[in-house]
Amino acid sequence: MRVEYINPFVTSLKNTFQTMLNCDTKRGQVCLQDGSTSRHPVSGVIGLTGKAVGTVVLNLSENVALKAAATLLLTEMPSINDEVLDAVGELTNMVTGAAKAELEEYELKVSLPNVITGANHEIHFPSDVTPVCVPFETEWGKLTLEVGLAPVEEEAIV
Amino acid sequence: MRVEYINPFVTSLKNTFQTMLNCDTKRGQVCLQDGSTSRHPVSGVIGLTGKAVGTVVLNLSENVALKAAATLLLTEMPSINDEVLDAVGELTNMVTGAAKAELEEYELKVSLPNVITGANHEIHFPSDVTPVCVPFETEWGKLTLEVGLAPVEEEAIV
């Protein structure tokens, strides 16, 4: 699978933050991860299936998670609670859904968003899949988008 | 979706541990989680799509992860490394794959397995999905199987 598959996710993240959260994002350098990801304590995670299988991770600093949730929910969010976690899951879903539409040749379907918390959690990909990672800066703090996708052989699709 | 959807995963976990790892498992009481899961430090996570969407989590104590990987890889595994993480991902894939075959009416497809590590990581489900959780005891220690699945409305399948 081409590394360019990351571009629809980058565009989708920028657009989602701009239109849904009224938040500008400044994109950093794309990097390839060594298979273990997440530097921030809150990760929205969603699985993809279709002619490629993989995972999208939206790894957020606590402040980005709180401010994004507060904006979506129209109320202050002083600490991580179930509403914040649902909002992070929904944000991950929105970013993934819009990108999926741009990758229609892969006929992707999305699973349920889960949100991982824990100061030192790490999300590992299978060692034969190298996730592409894109850091972003926002007025609220930092976040990282990570996408690992592997093509599926036609005969292996069941 | 019926709570009975957990049964194929329980059977698959028992069979996979028995046949692939030669490890007996003793099942504890099924419980419903309040949306946040994981008590052990290593979680194999895999997304499902189809006529239901959801996530399967295999939450393992460190010793279960190490011994399962050592058995699959036919070599001692003194600490969590990339090979252990790949083995946990593959184990999650095997358990999910066999269960999927028993739930054919949902036409499930599996995403890529990810493995989450971190002593205090938590895996949250959307608050409208209640994951079913089944603890197991083995000679190597404890593990918990967690499955959260939500039916997809026909018209919502894209």
Q: A3-156 is classed in which CATH architecture?
A: 3-Layer(aba) Sandwich (3.40)
Low-confidence ranges of chain A (pLDDT < 50): 157-158
Is residue B121 within 8 angstroms of chain A, CB to CB? Answer: yes
Q: Which of B81, B109, B157 to mutate to test the interface with A (most CBs of A within 10 A)?
A: B109
Low-confidence ranges of chain B (pLDDT < 50): 157-158
Find chain A residues with C-beta within 8 A of B89's C-beta: 124, 126
Q: How far apart are the first and last CA of chain A?
A: 19
The pLDDT, as a whole number, for residue A76 is: 96
Point out which residues pair with B123 in neighbouring strands. A116, B37
Closest partner residue to A86 among B110, B121, B127, by Cβ? Answer: B127
The pLDDT, as a whole number, for residue A35 is: 54
Q: Please give the ipTM for the structure prediction.
A: 0.92
Is residue B129 within 8 angstroms of chain A, CB to CB? Answer: yes
3-state secondary structure of A85: helix
Closest partner residue to A124 among B47, B114, B119, by Cβ? Answer: B114
Q: What is the DSSP letter of A51?
A: S
Q: What are A111's two structure tokens?
A: 């699973």
Spell out the domain ranges in chain B.
3-156
The pLDDT, as a whole number, for residue A37 is: 58
> B38: nearest CA in chain A?
A116
The pLDDT, as a whole number, for residue A153 is: 76
3-state secondary structure of B61: coil
The pLDDT, as a whole number, for residue A98 is: 95
Q: What span, in angstroms and rounded, lies between the C-alpha atoms of A123 and A119?
A: 12
pTM listed for this prediction: 0.93
The pLDDT, as a whole number, for residue A70 is: 98
Closest partner residue to B111 among A54, A116, A127, by Cβ? Answer: A54
How close B56 comes to chain A (CA, Å)?
10
Give the total residue count for chain A: 158
Task: State the burial class of residue A143 (Cβ atoms within 10 Å of its Cβ: 0-12, 13-18, 19+).
Answer: buried
